[in-house]
Amino acid sequence: MQLFQFITKIFGSKKKQNSTENMKKYLIAGLGNIGEKYYNTRHNIGFKIVDELAQKEGIVFKTEKLGDIAQFRFKGRLFILLKPSTYMNLSGKSVNYWLTKENISIENLLVICDDLNLGFGSIRLKGNGSNGGHNGLKDINDVLQTNNYARFRFGVGSEFSKGRQSDFVLGQWSEEEFKLLPERLEKSMELIKSYGTGGLNNTMNTCTQ
């Protein structure tokens, strides 16, 4: 009996490991800045979205090299959530490291960031494009040497006076925005799962607003 349990344990673990290795992987990189003072800022919406998704899935982030990592399975896919610890302007180093470490193709990368050109709560998904003035995307483009990867932009609005852009994106959500965030976060989580299971084009048509 003990021999049977031993054999089952060994081969059962191997089967489970192989199942994970063969599973289609996606790297979901939420951009932001580390540190308590940045936690609820507009610029950290990427962190906020993956934090909400991790909480909903009942998983916990662990601090690893160049970022915090959490992962969950959904409909035969493995979603690896990343919060780079390199600060926003050096996001490319972390994203590139985890793509390489997990052997994930760039076609299965989704980067989440804030966007000043979209009204609050608007969500857009694109398969490529310029950095749009976003320093996190700029660094990712430079490090990966391409802009052909999916990016999910969350609108934060542009209600700031001339020369106050930095203060606005690094500022806290307004009281009204904070009340509306939960519903937009729910939509954002739906988009991420749809991207992994339904593909880019289908998600662009059904989940963006």
Q: Please state whether beta strands 67-74 and 77-84 pair in parallel, antiparallel, or not at all (unpaired).
A: antiparallel
Q: Pick from 53, 91, 89, 16: which is nearest to 193 by CA?
A: 53
Residues 171 and 156: their CA atoms lie apart, in Å, by 11
Residue 172, beta-bridge partner list: 41
Query: Choosing from 25, 42, 43, 193, which is the catalytic residue?
Result: 43
Distances (CA, A) of 8 to 3, 14, 151: 9, 10, 43
Distances (CA, A) of 200 to 82, 138, 152, 196: 19, 21, 11, 8
Residues 186 and 70: their CA atoms lie apart, in Å, by 18
Residues 96 and 114: their CA atoms lie apart, in Å, by 20
Indicate if 134 belongs to the active site.
no
Residue 115 is given by DSSP the state: E
Residues with catalytic roles:
43
